[in-house]
Structure 1
Amino acid sequence: MASSYGTDADKSSLRSNYLSVRKAIPTRSRASSDASIRSSLRAFPIFDAAELVLTYVSFGPEVDTRSIIAELLEEGRRVAVPRVNKAAHAMDFCEIFSLDELEPGVMGILEPAPNAEPLTTPELVGSVCLVPGLVFDGSGHRVGYGGGYYDRFLAFYPGDKIALARTTMLSSNPLPVGVHDVPVDFIATESGIWNCRGR
């Protein structure tokens, strides 16, 4: 685990610090890191065997998932992406067949159309979920953007949870953990897959 802001940092401070760090990374460096992360992920047997891949649609300087989505769809793999219901403070995943189906939703992030049918929990069995975040620790805990949408979804999610993280997004210190926070099972990095289970 690489960078850290100390064990006494709260989530707001961590969020602010890691947003600044991410924004400062040159575009070319981000692209190189993301290509290595994608290679680690594609070589991971659990990801390779998944019948369905749930993934966020990358926005701004997030670790790129659009290339992953395009590759999977081209290969005939099943892909679903999130749609946020801000009023209900909830998030569903809907299967897609092209990135062209998506339209700007909350905060301008691309998501399925309002009439897209959400997948049910039983339909998610055998899937993996690629989870976004700003920083992750060795136990799989994360600091996200503060909305809580992923933690609420992951609390009932039946598959494997995989974070995508550049080295600059890894903390050597444990992160603050809330009662409703759900850790990821694995972290895909430039150098390989980190197993967070049992740590």
Structure 2
Amino acid sequence: MKEKSMLREEMKKMLGCMDHSSHAAKSKAIHDKLFASKEWQDAQTVAVTISRYPEVDTEAIIMHAWEEGKKVAVPKCFPKNKSMQFYFLENFNQLETVYFGLKEPIVTEVEICKKYMLEIILVPGLAFDEEGYRVGFGGGYYDRYLADYIGSKVSLSFTEQLVKKVPIDDYDIPVHKIVTNEVVYDCIIRK
């Protein structure tokens, strides 16, 4: 676990040093590659977190999905039992700011999205390897949610977030694809 904590801090520091114009250009390159992917094109329902700077921008992804007529689902975390549930988002006014400045759906204003309805989940993280493993933000919400998810799992990453090998635990769930600003990786599972 110590390795993951150190990697998290290293990535947060590195991302914090990225200038705004570089961040915007790299996010757009990632968006373009994502929108060209078969996973995106085939999906009618997309699950995505509301990003916070300096993560890859997801607001533009959400707006693009709406423009294409896709349904968008965003997560709500429940810290008491460390669970997560997705809800359909129809506009940004259905969001509220919660702990750590995260934006989540206002559950009284949105409809629940069942896991089987999600065709692609954009899985966030801080560090990634080419085999699809990731170091997230430390809560384990996505690993628990993805344990029995059978749809496409895709992560968005700046090239700088790629590492040779991510330390893994038995409960870590890899993604199928990592879309970076330079390359798209179809991931090989090492478990």
Q: Which TM class, normalised by the smaller chain length? A: over 0.9
Q: 1:53 matched to which residue of 2?
A: 46
The runs of 4+ residues in structure 1 deviating greater than 4 Å are: none
* 1:110-132 CA-partner distances (Å, limit 9, x unpaired): 111132332223323xx100011
Q: Is the CA contact (8 Å cut-off) linking 1:136 and 1:170 kept in structure 2?
A: yes
Gaps of 5+ in 1: 1-8
Q: 1:83 matched to which residue of 2?
A: 76
Shift of 1:82: 0.3
Gaps of 5+ in 2: none
Q: 2:113 matched to which residue of 1?
A: 119
Q: TM-score, normalised by structure 2?
A: 0.93
Letter in structure 2 aligned against 1:18: M
Q: Does 1:128 align with 2:116?
A: no
Shift of 1:179: 1.2
Shift of 1:198: 4.6
Distance 1:55 1:145 in 2: 15
Matches within 5 A, 1:1-199: 10-115=3-108, 116-124=110-118, 127-171=119-163, 173-198=164-189
Distance 1:117 1:156 in 2: 22
Letter in structure 2 aligned against 1:162: V
Relative CO higher for 1 or 2, CA cutoff 8 Å, sep ≥ 6? 1
User: Residue 112 of structure 2: SS of its match in structure 1?
Assistant: coil
Shift of 1:192: 3.5
User: Residue 10 of structure 1: SS of its match in structure 2?
Assistant: helix
Size of the aligned set, in residue pairs, is 188
